[in-house]
A and B are shown apart, each in its own frame.
Chain A
């Protein structure tokens, strides 16, 4: 195995007593002494600081004007890149020729360039893919001299605006730059916990993280709680709830595909896998991602097989993420079932250690999001 990489916050994690684990080729904190459950609840009640420096930060600088770059990136995804105003960010999905999801990402219009953040485990492939697809229109450059942190929770705004007063005026998915003693911050009002909050790219990530942690209400949060927070928020984790065999429609991410890119729209299709994805939008796909609420206290984790009857019979679906939701105080899961079993309230059975236990199809998210729209 290749040697694990470290983010700019490695020393701080160790100093804070984090338990470090390998994740997507990096040594990352899975939890701090507070523990997963308390970290999760702290983030929902106050503010949590996450090291997301393992994720890929990529600048797309236009070679032949922003319009050509925007059109080029739009040709890689079923979403709208055109019409994204300067200072705004959107959610995107790279798809392959069969409509499968190569990765999900955030992309921002920063005036004279686009800024893209992709998953850690996918970044090498994503960067190669962008270099190939955007060769004529963009210089694709991974940013390696900056850290990336997420500050999430109801007290995130107070904590960040103590250092960056203008952060208070940002709305969900706004992006801005701010000069600080830690270097120029690239701030977006977003995150992956269902909470209001920010993701901040910063040159002196160690100094910046220490300044935030010195603020009352801010605690460091590890990957363990990051996973339970995103699961409660009904958000997909790449490699689990989505992969290159699952389309955006199947992943229940059709909301990200706007009218102009759909059949009959002014920029219909024109992205990899468009035939498959547009057909699935017209007529339901074979499987759909749903929320699942186990009815007993036993968590149903990734890999649990779902049945339509207590007696078993044919496997009808499977769990892709599952665990315990500390804020909803019950086990929660997400998985794939055929559309006919995807209606909220549908009774299913999940096989846990040889026993089929009742589980109900539930609305997502499990906990309402608190984004500042």
Chain B
């Protein structure tokens, strides 16, 4: 399964014709205990850099930006009731949203796991 990583510490995973987006364990650790996640409405068309998710940790609020252009087709409602999943299983159960995009090749611009691990040292 292909995982790509952004410099904003998001991971992107291709699932059929959709791209699943979450944040990395490194990011979750930096944020601290997550107590609230505000998700976008499904069927929202977003552009790269749009603020799509708000994460509130015990420390502060942070925005998650859309990593690519596309349409958000599904959001992970589980996070509304259990925001702590972001800390417990950042790369698994705690995905934020699934996007439909026109051209999967835009993912090539992002980092591989090895490159990302190098970034966070």
Q: Chain A residues in contact with chain B, CB under 8 A?
A: 30-31, 35-38, 40, 224, 228, 297-299, 301, 323-324, 326, 331, 353
- Contact with B33, one of A36, A301, A353 (Cβ below 8 angstroms): A36
Contact A353 B35 (CB under 8 A): no
**B56 part of interface (Cβ distance < 8 Å):** yes
User: How far does the alpha carbon of A147 sit from the alpha carbon of B90 in the complex, in Å?
Assistant: 40
- Contact with B56, one of A31, A37, A298, A326 (Cβ below 8 angstroms): A298
Contact B80 A297 (CB under 8 A): yes
Q: Which residue of B lies closest to A38 (CB)?
A: B33
User: Min CB distance, A322 to chain B, in Å?
Assistant: 10
Given contacts A297-B80, A297-B83, A224 and B59 within 8 Å (CB-CB): yes
Contact A35 B36 (CB under 8 A): no
Contact A331 B35 (CB under 8 A): yes
User: Min CB distance, B49 to chain A, in Å?
Assistant: 17
Contacts of B120 in A (CB 8 A): none
User: Min CB distance, A257 to chain B, in Å?
Assistant: 34
User: Min CB distance, A208 to chain B, in Å?
Assistant: 29
Contacts of B88 in A (CB 8 A): none
User: Min CB distance, A35 to chain B, in Å?
Assistant: 6
Contacts of B59 in A (CB 8 A): 30, 36, 224
Contacts of A37 in B (CB 8 A): 32-33, 58
Contact B56 A324 (CB under 8 A): yes
User: Min CB distance, A40 to chain B, in Å?
Assistant: 8
Contact B32 A299 (CB under 8 A): no
User: Min CB distance, B7 to chain A, in Å?
Assistant: 22
User: How far does the alpha carbon of A324 sit from the alpha carbon of B58 in the complex, in Å?
Assistant: 6
**B107 part of interface (Cβ distance < 8 Å):** no
User: Min CB distance, A359 to chain B, in Å?
Assistant: 14
Interface residues of B in 9-61 (CB under 8 A from A): 32-33, 35-36, 38, 54, 56, 58-61
User: Min CB distance, B28 to chain A, in Å?
Assistant: 11
User: Min CB distance, A178 to chain B, in Å?
Assistant: 35
User: How far does the alpha carbon of A80 sit from the alpha carbon of B59 in the complex, in Å?
Assistant: 37
User: How far does the alpha carbon of A40 sit from the alpha carbon of B58 in the complex, in Å?
Assistant: 11
| Most B Cβ at <10 Å: residue of A30, A297, A301, A353 | A297
Q: Which residue of B lies closest to A294 (CB)?
A: B36
Contact A297 B35 (CB under 8 A): yes
Given A298-B56, A353-B38, 20 new contacts (CB under 8 A): A31-B32, A35-B33, A36-B58, A37-B33, A37-B58, A40-B58, A224-B32, A224-B59, A297-B36, A298-B36, A298-B38, A299-B36, A299-B56, A301-B60, A323-B58, A324-B36, A324-B56, A326-B58, A331-B35, A353-B54
User: Min CB distance, A32 to chain B, in Å?
Assistant: 12
Q: Which residue of B lies closest to A33 (CB)?
A: B29
User: How far does the alpha carbon of A179 sit from the alpha carbon of B81 in the complex, in Å?
Assistant: 52
26 pairs, CB–CB < 8 Å, chain A vs chain B: A30-B59, A31-B32, A35-B32, A36-B32, A37-B32, A37-B58, A38-B33, A224-B32, A224-B58, A224-B59, A297-B35, A298-B36, A298-B38, A299-B36, A299-B56, A299-B61, A301-B60, A301-B61, A323-B58, A324-B36, A324-B56, A326-B33, A326-B58, A331-B35, A331-B36, A353-B38
Contacts of A35 in B (CB 8 A): 32-33
User: How far does the alpha carbon of A31 sit from the alpha carbon of B35 in the complex, in Å?
Assistant: 17
Contacts of B32 in A (CB 8 A): 31, 35-37, 224
User: Min CB distance, B80 to chain A, in Å?
Assistant: 7
Contacts of B60 in A (CB 8 A): 301
User: How far does the alpha carbon of A301 sit from the alpha carbon of B35 in the complex, in Å?
Assistant: 13
User: Min CB distance, A148 to chain B, in Å?
Assistant: 24
Q: Which residue of B lies closest to A299 (CB)?
A: B56
User: Min CB distance, A352 to chain B, in Å?
Assistant: 9
User: Min CB distance, A227 to chain B, in Å?
Assistant: 9
User: How far does the alpha carbon of A298 sit from the alpha carbon of B34 in the complex, in Å?
Assistant: 11
